[in-house]
Structure 1
Amino acid sequence: MNERSKDAIKTILKQQNFEPGHPGPLLLNAQALIDALATGVPTTSKYFALPIRCLADLNERLDSPIAHKMKRPQLKSFPTLMGLFLLLRASGLAVGETKPKRVVMIDPEMREKWEELNPTEQYMSLMDTWWTKVNWTILGERDQFGVQLQSDTRSLYYQLSRQPTAVDADLLFYGYHQRTVATLLEQFGWIKVAYASNAEEGKVADIQSVETTKFGDAMFEALGGIIGSRDRDESPVQKELKPMFPAWKNSLLPAEQPFREGRYKLKLSWSKVWRRLEAPATTSLEDITGLLLAAFDFEQDHLYRLDYRDPSGREVFVEDPRYREGELFADEVLLGEVPLGEGDSMGLLFDFGDSWRFTITIESIDESETDDFEPAITASHGEAPKQYEYDDDDW
């Protein structure tokens, strides 16, 4: 990757055309997937992943389908579909619904917003999503800090920028994570990828060659140290790039989650032991945690972390206020702000050493009751476990 002056970078970026098919097939393929999922596709996946039976057909809808000879492919077999799915989920375009049946579909309101954007705005909205919101937790994988995909992207791009165009696929693309990262770079036009025209039995076609593009180099340099970071008020990607693209006036923004008033009935459980808590929507997650631990007779002298999945499928972490790093803190998040419904759960990890893992399940929300009241434990089952296996007199 050749280092360029800021003026040279601006020149390359300002000259770029973002009509469908440029600088990569992103908008063509995203639209193909949006159309295919418009009314919903049944899925049994816990994470609302694209169903196996549809993958071969969806692959054929793409601008450049990947050759394969697989009888029962999985989503990770088609890295282009996997990358596009992550983008649509993280952006809020693709959502999971459980009633009347479990489907992955395109949110009608989000599609309407999408269609109101011009090509530059569509491209940049998805790129902003890719660089700050997409992570592997959408598909149920662990990603402690939520930036592993972006780290993988930076690492692969630096490797490619220092390699000849002919690549050793086994070396650079040894797993589906790397292949997904490569196809995302290709979709956005940051690299060009050539696949074999045929595939071996039971496999997908190999990547034969890869080359970076001037546009990709310029974008990479312009983004600098931005990686998986987004504050509540402004995306760092927008702050850095919007001035270079006059046509980028609007962005695809997910619907705001309304505050949900009411009386919450929560089941606080560990193994087969549980306590029931009733609390108003205005109760903070810090207070919920304190009440749970008190109900289990635990000393609250250790840090904790709460986690749940937002509507895009991403794993969200809410930190103990005593912990200085994070985006969300338990004393700042109210129960009514958590984007979960009846039957959904949050996890609570208490004491990072002993790793006590509790589950907080929303049993019901009575939205007709909006008056404030003191949270209270209303039922219990089972004897609470001992927090420590030793007595005060033990040394």
Structure 2
Amino acid sequence: MKPSTILSDRERAVLTEMAAAPQLPGTIVRDFEMLLDFIGTEGVPVSPKSSEFAIAKLPEINARLIEPANVGLSRGRQVSFPHVDALHWLLRYSQMGRIARDKATPRMVVDAPMRQRWQGLNPTERNFALLEAWWNFADEDRESPGFGSGMRADYRARLLERLRPKRNSEKYATEDYEVYLRLIGTKQIALLQMFGMIEIDQEKLIHGAGWKIERMFATSWESPRARATGVLLVKPPRTFLRNSLPGRARALSATRKSTTLPFIDGRLKSIRFFLHGRPASTNMTK
């Protein structure tokens, strides 16, 4: 199936509606711009080995989020702050951030040419650029051995389907949360939240404890906001990143033309669920 045939007329109308909306789904664009401003011209110290943000900076970045995570750890690593970890991930794979080693302590700095290109995008294009960095490039990060991008996309779609609001809504069991947290990780859950695909009720902050989810649910698919979010789950057009990534990423981009069925099918399941309230058929040849 060609990318141009994935969107129906109805779904294209939702995109048009979203482009004209004063507020985009989720907080991802605002949170990402906050991080760019926080890094500023001086940069933020990072670990020499992992290139993660310095531990002392994590609570401060987390506190600046639109919806901060309740993390009670005073010396938690970056993985303990899933939303900050997710933004750091996008910063790397969008090529907006790079590591400067011209001083004793390495720093994460904003790439000036990429920042200039970013500022030339409207909010909808910024949302697409970040989504592309997540779904088309960052998914290739082999954080879990043997866990490919197709499986990750499929598990995300399954999670969204399970979290669909029902007439007789019952609280989603904590054990079920833990299953998906193990399958796709807290960083992926945080991204789903920041992109407006799910909403999360988190447990109250407990000193000495990490981020805990009390309840999560998919955004109601009847609302225009959620329908627009569903459209964003489709593999977006390559406009922002295609010509700016290094050779490996460009080669990876080219391989997407012959991508496996699960990789695309996970997106189609998600978009059909949001737009029509049901999962998509796995038969893509029709």
TM-score by length of 2: 0.69
> Could you say which residue in structure 1 is the equivalent of 2:173?
168
Contact 1:21 1:27 in 2 (8 A): no
Runs of at least 5 residues in structure 2 that lack an aligned partner in the other structure: 1-6, 260-286
CA apart distance, 1:146: 4.6
- 1:20-169 alignment, distance < 5 Å: 22-38=24-40, 39-100=42-103, 101-135=105-139, 137=141, 141-142=144-145, 145-161=148-164, 164=169, 166-169=171-174
- In 1, the alpha carbon distance for the partners of 2:93 and 2:151 equals 15
- In 2, the alpha carbon distance for the partners of 1:83 and 1:152 equals 18
- In 1, the alpha carbon distance for the partners of 2:91 and 2:22 equals 17
- 1:282-361 alignment, distance < 5 Å: none
What CA RMSD, in Å, does the superposition of the two structures yield over aligned residues?
3.7
> Could you say which residue in structure 2 is the equivalent of 1:391?
none
Contact 2:164 2:217 in 1 (8 A): no
Contact 1:186 1:192 in 2 (8 A): yes
- In 2, the alpha carbon distance for the partners of 1:98 and 1:162 equals 49
Which of 183, 194, 197 pairs up with 1:187?
A: 194
- In 2, the alpha carbon distance for the partners of 1:181 and 1:18 equals 28
CA apart distance, 1:165: 6.8
Q: Which has the larger radius of gyration?
A: 1
Deviations 1:37-69 (A, max 9, x none): 233222225331222221111100111111221
SS in 2 for 1:238: coil
- In 1, the alpha carbon distance for the partners of 2:94 and 2:22 equals 19
Q: 1:81 to 1:144 in 2, by over 3 A?
A: same
- In 2, the alpha carbon distance for the partners of 1:78 and 1:18 equals 33
> Could you say which residue in structure 1 is the equivalent of 2:266?
none
> Could you say which residue in structure 2 is the equivalent of 1:247?
none
- 1:229-240 alignment, distance < 5 Å: 237-238=236-237
Q: Return the structure number with greater relative CO, CA threshold 8 A, min gap 6.
A: 2
Q: 1:93 to 1:161 in 2, by over 3 A?
A: same
Residue 108 of structure 1 aligns with an amino acid whose one-letter code is A
- In 2, the alpha carbon distance for the partners of 1:142 and 1:98 equals 30
Contact 1:43 1:103 in 2 (8 A): yes
How many aligned positions are there?
242
TM-score by length of 1: 0.52
- In 1, the alpha carbon distance for the partners of 2:202 and 2:35 equals 21
Contact 2:195 2:229 in 1 (8 A): no
Runs of at least 5 residues in structure 1 that lack an aligned partner in the other structure: 227-235, 240-249, 259-309, 320-324, 327-395
Contact 1:134 1:149 in 2 (8 A): no
Which of 11, 14, 19 pairs up with 1:12?
A: 14
Contact 1:43 1:51 in 2 (8 A): yes
CA apart distance, 1:108: 1.5
- In 1, the alpha carbon distance for the partners of 2:219 and 2:194 equals 12
